[in-house]
Structure 1
Amino acid sequence: MYFKIKTEAEEALRKAVDQFDCEFDEEIKLEFPPNPELGDLASTISFQLAKLLRKAPNLIAPEVVEKIELPEIFERVEATGPYVNFFINHDIFAKQLLDSVDEDYGQLAAVDEKIILEHTSANPNGPLHIGHIRNSVIGDSLRRLLTKAGYNVDTQYYVNDMGRQLAMIVYGMEELGLKLEDQPASKIDHKVGELYFKVNQMIKEDESLNDGVDATIRKYEGGPSELDEKFEYAVNSCLEGVKETLKRMNVKHDAFVWEGQFVRTGIVDNLTQELYDIGYARQEEVLYLDLSEFDIPKELVLRRADGTSLYSTRDIAYHIYKSKNCDKIIDIFGSDHKLAARQVELALEILEEIEPNSDKIEVIFYEFITLPEGSMSTRRGVFISVDELMDEAVRRATEEIISRRPDLDKETIDKIAEEIGIGAIRYYIARLSPEKHITFKWDEALSFERGCASIQYAHARACKLLKKAQEEKGIDLADLTVEDTWSLDENEKELVKLIAKFPSLVEDSAKIRRVHPIAQYCQDLASAFNRFYKAEQVIGSDVENARLLLVEKSRITLRNALDLLGVSAPDMM
């Protein structure tokens, strides 16, 4: 609906401006004022006209207002200083809005742009830990947001099957007598992590074992051998557990792309040779890419002294693949990848795979999550896995539900606890912009008085109220209509305005590739609904149908907004 009223306000302003003796062909700017007393929409068009009319903006605004033919959806338009402020006729607006909110509310028209979005892409050497999960939450939430905004999104997980970490695991199984099935963990990716940790410990005690790892890398990268099956077994074992974790976290990937294919098909050899032939790659002890002319002092090593490739080389090949299969590449990387990301982008420019300074590649860098007691390392075995994080979140949610709802059976408690626990983790991470560091704190993430649980509770409240209307009064929600006598009070106006903003928020958030505005919107909408719920009589009121309809549309909007964050909307709590 805000798309509609913005369009109507813009058209009214355009017609008013046409009555001035000037040629005005700029975009008319409209914004939402922070203070409702200043209107529901405000325009700075008087500033845009100031140079053309050679008048002060505060003198132009009243003249614009005089010439406006006000659409029915607005109650009035006023000049406040240099601003032109539109005030919505909320009675008319609310009826039109509630008619427009359907189950798919917020879904925008298709955009003719294919996006490949890469996220998570953790090395297959152990379970996901909370250092990975911010990548997953940002990436998956962005996938949901972009899809809602009409984009065609293909989400990919880049599998590092040729990395040194994996070679250590295979070497440990082949030469050091270690077996995955002998590891004490119950989940397969945790077994992989335990084996990897043990190999690290053994190498620390005997550094000569590094020679065996290097030989394993050379043999695997050199072409088909009996090692292929061992590497595939190790990778698939770890991915089996990782996929299970991601599924529980409501994270979805469309494809898992193995980096080994770019070596085996010759793409890595071809690109390194081309970089050498055109004079950017230099061969000394190692083959490296000289980017000094781009003010990048650090060289990008393309091949080790033994001829094997590095992750960065294979990443260039992967980005060539992505570039050929989409209109836009979006990568989710930790802030420590800024240099590497720039090096890959420059390599693609040198190879003429993308235009110089193009926006074909967008990288969203995020700061890390840490524990209050310090950093995490898979190598040192100091981390909290995402599985442990989820288990603890669900355990705490279970305790809270039992204390609040001792009447519920175990199956119901388990279901709600899972929704609340997983939702708390995703919301806690999504609520902050990627640029902000997060120290994970249990009490904040799992608080039932604020944050995600309070938002989910607002949805459950709406469901309970609607269920009561259906069961006790036999009301069919599909037949609800707005009474002509309904005149909105302030709580209802606030709720209606927030519901109306959702589609434009989807569009704006998708454009800036950020999901934290959606998290804030969920909090604002839930708070507005709770104020309405506490202040207004719904069932039995003179405008019962209108208020029930408002409850139903609030529920749909809140559910759809939470879904963009991968958070479930429970129907009871």
Structure 2
Amino acid sequence: MFIAFRREVEAAIEAALDDLGYPTGDLGIEEPPEDVPAVLASSVAFRLASEAQAPPPQVAGEIADAIDLAGAERVASASTQGPYVNFTPSEAYFEGTLDAGQNDDYGRLPDTGESVVVEHTSANPTGPVHVGRARNPILGDAVARVMDFAGHDVTREYYVNDAGRQMAVFTWAYETFDEEDLDSDPERDRIEYDLVRYYRKGNQVLEDGDPEDVEEAEAEVDAILQGLEAGDEATYERVEEVVDQVLGGMRECLERLPAEFDQFVKETRFMFDGSTEDVAERLKAMDNAAIEEGAWQLDLEDFEKKLVFLRSDGTSLYTTRDLAHHEWKFEEFDRAVTVLGEDHKLQAGQLRATLDLLGNDVSQLEDLVYSYVNLPEGKMSTRAGTGVDLDDLLDEAVDRAEDAVRSRMDDRIRDDDLTEDDVERIARQVGIGAVRYDIVSKQPTKAITFEWEDALDFEGQSAPYVQYAHARTSGILSEADGAAAEFDDLDAGLLDTDAERALLKEIARFPAVVEAAADDLEPHQVATFARAFVDAFNAFYRECPVLAEDVDDDLRDARLALVAAAQHTLANALYVLGIEAPESM
């Protein structure tokens, strides 16, 4: 409803400006301050003041007088307040919002017909997922969800680095060492925790072993790399035996978030089908390509560091294969979104510049670069085996959430409301939801220091705060013994208090928030909306009894419909963020 309202406002302003002979460029449409009883405002008078040779308030008045709302079903009036033209909603706006909010998929936008591949996580399959990288799958999954909800045909991709030196080292170590050669037992009963010990042992030998052992190991690692480059099937099978096992365990971890994928695309694919070699040959033919220190390099404008695309031994690099990967994306999808850590910013810039030189339409490519998440303990390293794994973070989140739930149960008048199964379910929903919300609610470019007290605050800027509101809506509807959508002839005109109208306005905004978050690749906009929405719902809950005996049937039904619309809005906002919506807490 908000989107339709905005379109009517835009059309009315453009028509008025055209009638007055003003240019219709930037309409200056924005949301008014909270104390202004309007849904949208226009600051266009500031832009036109110079041309009109009049102060902005005078120009705003002139525009307001010229606005014709005869064909605007959802806009009731246009009035001025200083230099702003404010637009208030009609009863049809509230009726339409209440009606649309009864749908389970409220907020989902119509199909755009645009295919989008969202590549995220893509962590090297060398061991357990590290907590320092947790922002990538959480942010990437939320981006994919919000783009899907905004009507795009989304494919979630994990790009598997199965051809790099790390995997050659891992394969050699896996084939070389036995259990008795390893220094420790697995930290967790899952395959990647078992196998990462071989990887660590291999790196230890390569860094600190006897020179003869290191020389022999390096020769075997190089042989694996050369075998992959040559498309040798036997070498591929050796490497994939390690890759697939480790990746399987990593997927189990990521599914806890949850972060799921539609396809796992391996970089060896672009070596074996000849596309990497094709890219390298095209790069060699460029004027800015040359052999330096035995390796083929590309001198890119605006980059001090040259792009190496072939080693001195003729093998390709990750970037070379990724160029072929991206050209494949451009053929298969309308848009390609990649979620990257800030340490890949240079690489991403060089990739884009090179793709452009290769003749690709790089407007198809969008990079979402994020800063990292830090725990109070400080920086951690997977390779050294001293870091905190994502599994550890999620386990602790669930444990802490269970403590919080039990503490709240102790404060309840009835402590038998929740069973043990309920407590375990809520602890998982709240604990993992708290981690996701705390990470996805921040702007991607801002570094995060994760704090348990903030993430699990039932009263603060947190997932539990939003989840509890959803549980409250479910409780009201359950007590009413039926969803409000089953009632006929609902009258939004009965919902005329400030709290009811404020909640309806927030419900109306949700589809537009989804649209903006998808356009900007900023799922944190949905998190911000959810937090403000709960404030509006709680005000309604305090001020407007729904099932009290002195509430007549028509008003009860209208308020139940409003609660159902709030429930659908909250459930879908949480879904977009990848957070479960508990029905009880």
* TM-score, normalized by the shorter chain, greater than 0.5: yes
- Alignment match of 1:467 (pick from 478, 496, 506): 478
Are 1:391 and 2:399 an aligned pair?
A: no
In 2 relative to 1, CA 485–133 (structure 1 residues): closer, same or farther, beyond 3 Å? closer
Does the 8 Å CA contact 1:172/1:178 hold for their aligned counterparts?
no
Are 1:200 and 2:164 an aligned pair?
A: no
Tell me the distance in 2 between the aligned counterparts of 1:508 and 1:244.
32
- Alignment match of 1:230 (pick from 238, 245, 259): 238
In 2 relative to 1, CA 178–287 (structure 1 residues): closer, same or farther, beyond 3 Å? farther
Q: Deviations over 1:37-77 (max 9, x none)?
A: 26322123434544554433322222333343445644543
Alignment match, 1:514: 522
In 2 relative to 1, CA 157–477 (structure 1 residues): closer, same or farther, beyond 3 Å? same
Q: CA deviation at 1:364?
A: 0.9
Larger deviation: 173-182 or 153-162?
173-182
Output the amino acid matched with 1:306. D
Tell me the distance in 2 between the aligned counterparts of 1:27 and 1:281.
44
Output the amino acid matched with 1:553. A
| SS of the residue 1:278 aligns to | coil
- Alignment match of 2:322 (pick from 315, 319, 332): 315
- Alignment match of 2:444 (pick from 434, 440, 451): 434
Tell me the distance in 1 between the aligned counterparts of 2:565 and 2:483.
16
Matches within 5 A, 1:22-421: 22=21, 24-26=23-25, 28-37=27-36, 39-50=38-49, 53-70=52-69, 71=72, 73-89=74-90, 92-101=92-101, 102-177=103-178, 184=186, 185-206=188-209, 208=214, 209-292=217-300, 294-354=301-361, 358-405=362-409, 406-407=415-416, 408-421=418-431
Does the 8 Å CA contact 2:143/2:523 hold for their aligned counterparts?
yes
Tell me the distance in 1 between the aligned counterparts of 2:223 and 2:295.
19
Tell me the distance in 2 between the aligned counterparts of 1:546 and 1:331.
44
Does the 8 Å CA contact 1:197/1:378 hold for their aligned counterparts?
no
Tell me the distance in 1 between the aligned counterparts of 2:378 and 2:245.
29
In 2 relative to 1, CA 409–25 (structure 1 residues): closer, same or farther, beyond 3 Å? closer
Q: CA deviation at 1:36?
A: 3.1
Tell me the distance in 2 between the aligned counterparts of 1:105 and 1:475.
15
Tell me the distance in 1 between the aligned counterparts of 2:54 and 2:201.
77
Alignment match, 1:13: 13
Structure 2: stretches of 5+ with no match in the other structure: 410-414
In 2 relative to 1, CA 192–176 (structure 1 residues): closer, same or farther, beyond 3 Å? closer
Larger deviation: 146-155 or 28-37?
28-37
Does the 8 Å CA contact 1:42/1:84 hold for their aligned counterparts?
yes
Please provide the CA RMSD for this pair.
Answer: 2.3
| SS of the residue 1:434 aligns to | coil
| SS of the residue 1:120 aligns to | coil
Larger deviation: 78-87 or 202-211?
202-211
Output the amino acid matched with 2:32. P
Tell me the distance in 1 between the aligned counterparts of 2:352 and 2:19.
50
Structure 1: stretches of 5+ with no match in the other structure: none
In 2 relative to 1, CA 286–417 (structure 1 residues): closer, same or farther, beyond 3 Å? farther
Tell me the distance in 1 between the aligned counterparts of 2:240 and 2:492.
67
Alignment match, 1:502: 510
Q: Deviations over 1:267-310 (max 9, x none)?
A: 22221122112333322333232324x02121222222322222
Does the 8 Å CA contact 1:268/1:314 hold for their aligned counterparts?
yes
Output the amino acid matched with 2:341. G
Does the 8 Å CA contact 1:180/1:191 hold for their aligned counterparts?
no
Tell me the distance in 2 between the aligned counterparts of 1:172 and 1:220.
17
Tell me the distance in 2 between the aligned counterparts of 1:196 and 1:487.
64
- TM normalised by structure 1 equals 0.92
In 2 relative to 1, CA 499–50 (structure 1 residues): closer, same or farther, beyond 3 Å? same
| SS of the residue 1:37 aligns to | coil
Alignment match, 1:552: 564
Alignment match, 2:432: 422
Tell me the distance in 2 between the aligned counterparts of 1:11 and 1:272.
52
Does the 8 Å CA contact 1:109/1:149 hold for their aligned counterparts?
yes
Does the 8 Å CA contact 2:22/2:48 hold for their aligned counterparts?
no
